[in-house]
Structure 1
Amino acid sequence: MSARTALGRAAAGAATALALLAACGEASPTPTPTQATTGPATTAAAAPEPTEPATAPPAASGAPSPSLLVTDFGADTVTFVDPAATGRAADLGSVRVGTAPYGLAVGPDGTAWVATAEGVAAVDTATRTRTALIPYRTRTGPVATGEYRGGGMGLALSPDGSRVYVGVNVPEGNGTLEVVDTATRTVTRVVPVGRRPFDVDVSADGRSVYVTDHDSFDVTVVPTATWEPRRIEVAPYGTEGGLGSWLKPHYTAVRPSDGALLVPFEGERLAVVDPATGRVAVEPMTADTHQHGVTVAPDGTLYVVGTGPIDPAVDAGPSLTVRRPDGTERLVPLDGPHETVTLSPDGRTAYVSGGYTREGGWNGLTLVDTATGRTTRLPVGRLPLAVAVLPSAPGR
């Protein structure tokens, strides 16, 4: 941690924090009861619907194939992207999926699963059509847009591709984890979790699902054998008083070597969570900036998106932290706030989304050469949040 303390931060910049971090919302000391409804164990499949074509035709024969898909939080679409192209040529057209799409995962068969405000959308990425919209069983209120909207947020696929796990936000209440059977395209289970489930991750063996709950300062561990949720508080700055109540978990990465959960905070502290015991260790970080998206390479190298300062007087600007397994860090400056990070299959490029939902978000990606730190801005989509690599995409 830097020399300043959380209380020092509050004295230096509480007013600035309130202006810049309304996105991170302040949880009430006693969360309101969940408004979820669990219903029966299974639901009827979503009614068949006409497929919705892309807004631009597929690439002509001989032209580059799209290799990325992004969710357009500022619209109702997902956009296909050719990261090898330049400028607007990289934007290869969009498919309507549902209001304010957030999390995204693509299965080996090329089906993309998208968390929207209305339900989980399924997209055939080969034909570029939406093939289903599976409504949530959780009551989330009227369909809305913006950072506090109800509906799906974090989303992940089980390792065998048989299930989609989506964190469903209930405004002003506790959220849920909804489980979708990818074969029948039905919601088969609803599990209570914490507030504003920003991220969902799955253990390598598929036996546990991890939901990062922003407004309740925790990660909910859900074993797939019992579906009994267990809360682990992850709050290295505390949960009350001063600025500590603003410094919350956003996104989590699962460390390949041991399955530990890696949760970064403020470019100062990395919470290392043992999901089996609930123990939380804290390691120092160096970026000194508010942090959101995170991913980890197979060798354990961690990539963390810094969105910018809470207080410009004492904090650093946006950056991408590249943290080696030994704890050494390299910082790559970014132009403006960003949200999430995804690696190319060969690990040579980090795709960092520009769709930060507060002031400063922009319509594009920043491509970071992970060896040199060289950055390239690519204008695509509408406030793109999540980025997925399509199965046929070659490494770059």
Structure 2
Amino acid sequence: MLLGCAPGGGDGREPSSGSPAAESGGGSPASPAAPADRAPGRATPAGTLLVADFGGDTVTFLHPERGPFASVRVGTAPYGLAVGADGRAWVATAEGVAVVDTETRRRLDRIPYRTGTGPVTDGEYRGGGMGIALAPDGKRLYVGVNVPGGPGALEVIDTASREVTDTVPTGLRPFDVDVSRDGREVYATNHDSFDVTAVRTDTLAARTMEVAPYGTEGGLGSWLKPHYTAVRADGRLLLPFQGERLAVLDPRTGRVTVERMTARTHQHGAALAPDGTLLVVGTGPVGSAREGASLTVRRGDGSERIIPLEGPHEDVAVSPDGRTAYVSGGFTRDGYWNGVTAADLESGATRRLPGGERPLGIAVLPGR
């Protein structure tokens, strides 16, 4: 994500799909969990948290109160993940996109990338999948693929056949991938090239829009790059920078307007609550940002509440009722921790939930 290298883990071991070994191992030690959670054959309950263990080769299942109760091996250094309405999870790893049945907690497949990414490695700059998102109808999956030392790619996967059908060039290191609410466009947020690649889903025509509210001076050595994006109900893209500036990109025109933010912390993960509230993860002091880690809760009128966090975090997901935010502690640089912070968005109270192995991507599993 940022400059500098953070150590990663995972030996890339991969059992055959559906083998017993694929159901556990590779994560941090599990906290006590109810027998119903652990029992073989028991369906995973709705509301379970799923995290991508960037420091290993697994995804970990966490009960939101009791902690981890299972893990599934998916591939080296998993980064982003997306979960469909059917409960199937798609995980961007260094080796390919893993497909996990979250109800039975088994890996079903791993889809290799069409783009060449070099040797399989781990750590902050590893090649392979980063941002990932599903089309609204669940028929297509879009994954941003990092190619060390060169431009990345957006790969399109048919979720029925589980095959890569198309590849579109992007900018450098596509950190995040998002889909418009009508499914007509996909957006790859390219960290190292200060831009967003917008791709039409019908023709795959692509255009590049610069998003650099601080300018691009410093190039690869700059801290002031885009990381994660949230797509607002009106179609505009929200990209937070440094807890100081919110870049609002209109993808129809490419025009960027800038709104003031107040946390003054280097910002990564972003997500929207059901009511449109923007949640942004602050990782701590970097560059011009001097304040500690936090979660920004930004209402539609632009007012903000800052919830302090203990140490750097990376990404955020929100409960279906919009009351609780879950912030992953994995962070790709030093200072990460193996767990998730749950934040009550009304009271601001937080609690730490140990689990996972440097968890980055995070999702709340839906009910079925």
Q: What is the TM-score when the length of structure 1 is the normalising length? A: 0.83
Matched, 1:65 2:45: yes
Report SS of the residue matched to 1:362. Answer: coil
1:302 paired residue among 278, 287, 297:
278
The counterpart of 1:51, out of the listed 6, 18, 24, is 18
Unaligned residue ranges in structure 1 (runs of 5+): 1-19, 26-47
Aligned to 2:215: 238
Matches of residues 1-396 of structure 1 in structure 2 within 5 Å? Answer: 21-23=2-4, 50-52=17-19, 53-55=22-24, 59-60=38-39, 65=45, 67-85=48-66, 90-241=67-218, 245-256=222-233, 258-311=234-287, 315-392=290-367
Would the aligned equivalents of 1:95 and 1:129 in 2 still touch at CA under 8 Å? yes
Partner residue, 2:28 = none
Q: Say which SS state the counterpart of residue 237 (structure 1) adopts.
A: coil
Alpha-carbon distance between aligned partners in 2 of 1:335 and 1:233, rounded to the nearest angstrom: 33
Larger radius of gyration: 1
Q: What letter corresponds to residue 284 of structure 2 in structure 1?
A: G
| Structure 2 residue runs without a partner (length 5+) | 7-14, 26-34
Q: Is the 8 A contact 1:213 1:249 kept in 2?
A: yes
d(CA) in 1 for partners of 2:245, 2:42:
48
Conserved? CA contact 2:5–2:123, under 8 Å? no
The residue identity in structure 2 corresponding to 1:59 is R
CA contact (8 A) 1:24 1:215 kept: no
What is the Cα deviation at residue 310 of structure 1? 1.1
Residue type of the alignment partner of 1:167: G
Provide the C-alpha distance between the structure 2 equivalents of 1:204 and 1:157, rounded to a whole number of angstroms: 11
Q: Match of 2:363, as an amino acid?
A: A
CA–CA distance in structure 1, aligned partners of residues 140 and 102 of structure 2: 18
**Residue identity matched to 1:80:** F
2: CA distance, partners of 1:62 / 1:169:
37
**Inter-partner Cα distance in structure 1 for 2:270 and 2:286:** 19
After TM superposition, the runs of 4+ consecutive aligned structure 1 residues lying more than 6 A away are: 61-64
**What is the Cα deviation at residue 59 of structure 1?**
2.4
* Residue aligning to 1:4: none
Separation in structure 1 between the aligned mates of residue 256 and residue 214 of structure 2, nearest angstrom = 13
Q: Which amino acid aligns with 2:60?
A: T
Distance 1:24 1:226 in 2: 37
Change in CA separation of 1:202 and 1:63 when aligned onto 2, cut-off 3 Å: closer
Distance, in Å, in 1 between the alignment partners of 2:119 and 2:218 is 33
* Alpha-carbon offset, residue 74 of structure 1: 0.4
Task: Tell me by how many angstroms 1:175 deviates.
Answer: 0.2
Q: Report the Cα distance in structure 1 between the residues aligned to 2:207 and 2:53, rounded to whole angstroms.
A: 32
**What displacement does 1:270 show?**
0.2
Amino acid at match of 2:297: V
Q: Is the 8 A contact 1:237 1:244 kept in 2?
A: no
Q: What secondary structure is seen at the aligned counterpart in 2 of 1:195?
A: coil
Name the TM-score, length of structure 2 as normaliser: 0.90
Distance 1:163 1:157 in 2: 6
Q: What residue is the counterpart of 1:31 in the other structure?
A: none
Count residues with an aligned counterpart: 346
Q: Secondary structure at the match of 1:215?
A: helix
Inter-partner Cα distance in structure 2 for 1:64 and 1:159: 23
2:10 match: none
Q: CA deviation at 1:311?
A: 4.8
1:150 aligned partner, one-letter code: G
Structure in which a larger fraction of residues adopt strand: 2
In the other structure, the counterpart of 1:32 is none
Contact 2:192 2:220 in 1 (8 A): no
* Structure 1 position 84, deviation (Å): 2.1
Q: C-alpha distance in 2, partners of 1:339/1:377? A: 14
CA contact (8 A) 1:24 1:214 kept: no
Letter in 2 for 1:224: T
Q: Any idea what the Cα deviations from partners look like across 1:266-307, whole Å, max 9, x if unmatched?
A: 000000000010000000100111000000123221100000
The CA distance in 2 between the partners of 1:352 and 1:118, in whole Å, is: 25
- CA-to-aligned-CA distance 1:246-285 (integer Å, 9 cap, x gap): 20000000011x1100000000000000001000000010
Aligned counterparts of 2:253 and 2:200: Cα–Cα separation in 1: 13
Are the equivalent residues in 2 in contact too, given 1:153–1:167 (CA < 8 A)?
A: yes
Give yes or no for contact 1:354–1:364 (8 Å, CA) kept in 2.
yes
Contact 1:318 1:337 in 2 (8 A): yes
- Aligned-pair distance for 1:24? 9.4
Offset from partner CA, 1:180-217 (integer Å, 9 cap, x none): 10000000000000000000000000000000000000
In the alignment, the residues of structure 2 paired with residue 234 and residue 339 of structure 1 have an alpha-carbon distance, to the nearest angstrom, of 21
